[in-house]
Amino acid sequence: MERKVTWETYDAEQLEKLEKLNLEYRNFLDNGKTERECIDTIVNTIETEGYQELESLIKEGKKLAAGDKVYSVCMNKSIVMFRIGEKPMAEGMNILGAHIDSPRIDVKQNPLYEEGGFAYLDTHYYGGVKKYQWVALPLALHGVVVKKDGTTIEMNIGENEDDPVFFVSDLLIHLAGEQMEKKASKVIEGEALDLIIGSKPIKFAAEEEQDKDKDKEQAKEAIKAGILDILKETYDMEEEDFLSAELEIVPAGKTREAGFDRSLLLGYGQDDRVCAFTSMRAMLDVEKIEKTLCCILVDKEEIGSVGATGMHSRFFENAVAEVMNLTGEYSELNVRRCLARSAMLSSDVSAGFDPSYASCFEKKNAAFVGKGMVFNKFTGSRGKSGSNDANAEYIAYLRKLLDEKGIVYQTAELGKVDVGGGGTIAYILAEYGMNVIDSGVAVLNMHAPWEATSKADVYETYRGYMVFAEGAGM
């Protein structure tokens, strides 16, 4: 079975729409490099399109009816949006889902130290990373510091041209004989990923009456003291405030077009903000819906969908119950019916076929960059362990929907059998007894600091989500 090359199916008008969507996507990536920033970007976008906060509607005792748009945010890191359809919610929803966390390096809770003429932040990486990819490149620091009085300091350093950046050092090649013999997983160890944040000692006032010993004591860590001085001056924060901070280290810089033909995008965090963006945009742009449309964009996928903001949290189920309460449909049974009768596209990036590493893929069942929206009947590893398995009946339903509207799509497995594998949030929603399939966009160098996607796939996946959103359901 040959699949189409998406680019070849577009006329001039579609190419124009494609470029417009991708420009918006690039801004989305650049403005949301952490899950918190991503939520801010999404809320700003959807509020201009008439979405109202669920919690304030509850407080005001408002009711919801067909056409109403509502959203709920969980701890600034996950969001669920609903667009109420003509049909009762108990008949099920069409659900788009994706995740907005990405692999990165986190700052530890007691991070600041000085060593050998440098001030450092000690770190602990988040998600599956090839640690050697994160050294010797410009890094930015994003996140929040929450002080005891409840004030939140937002940090975003390294993205503007005149901002400083940070970096993790690597050993010079001249002395790396022993290092180069090591396995790739050991070349750079987790504890070696500490971030260099300064090297200039503070000057202490050498007043006559000052205690000389104390002066010497302070001078021992004069570089660290210099950093603390800057943090105090700029952010009014003390060293202790790192205890209640969430600081994330990400590649510095914007998403770029790649290739002479500008057909690709090279950017940080496309796993899985590419599916989050296209799902959100499709939800906003789709015109007529019969069933209630839901979009859930969650945190913590990269570490197992755990915690209050991960997909395993009751947050989503609670929001469904609250929304049904406002539509006047709430009962325990109706919530269960709604969830069980829903259909979901659980989206995440797929491993794009990489000709340089062809032996890791089975070509007939690989996802190709530029060949449209990807569906994975199952994910998992080895004997499909940990997989969601989408039903053949559901796949047939989707084929009909997409073929009728001329959407270019492909089916794939994540690499060759027994080479590796992976999973996403599909199996968690499937626990409600609903139809779920893994879908999304093919990516090259997934989980690297800079990941690549095809602009055509971004556009085609967005179109596919719109067609799904209009569907009558199973």
Contact residues for Mn ion (CB under 5 A)?
Answer: 271-272, 348
Closer to Mn ion by CB, 68 or 348: give it: 348
CB of 271 to Mn ion, least distance (A): 4
CB of 307 to Mn ion, least distance (A): 16
CB of 181 to Mn ion, least distance (A): 30
Burial class (CB in 10 A: 0-12, 13-18, 19+), 241: middle
CB of 100 to Mn ion, least distance (A): 10
Closer to Mn ion by CB, 221 or 299: give it: 299
Closer to Mn ion by CB, 221 or 302: give it: 302
CB of 425 to Mn ion, least distance (A): 9
Closer to Mn ion by CB, 155 or 295: give it: 295
CB of 402 to Mn ion, least distance (A): 22
DSSP assignments along 393-427, one per residue? HHHHHHHHHHHHTT--EEE--SSSTTT-EE--SHH
Phi and psi for 29 in degrees, rounded to 5?
-65, -45
Residue closest to 349 by CA, chosen among 435, 258, 276? 276
Take residue 133 and report the two structure tokens written for it: 């990819």
Closer to Mn ion by CB, 194 or 348: give it: 348
CB of 370 to Mn ion, least distance (A): 20
Closer to Mn ion by CB, 153 or 303: give it: 303
Contacts 24+ apart (CB under 8 A), 442-445: 442/349, 442/350, 442/351, 442/352, 442/353, 442/367, 442/368, 442/369, 442/370, 442/371, 442/374, 442/412, 443/270, 443/271, 443/274, 443/349, 443/350, 443/351, 443/352, 443/369, 444/352, 444/354, 444/369, 445/354
Closer to Mn ion by CB, 35 or 271: give it: 271
Helices and strands in the chain: count of H runs, count of E runs: 13, 22
Contact 298, 100 (CB under 8 A): yes
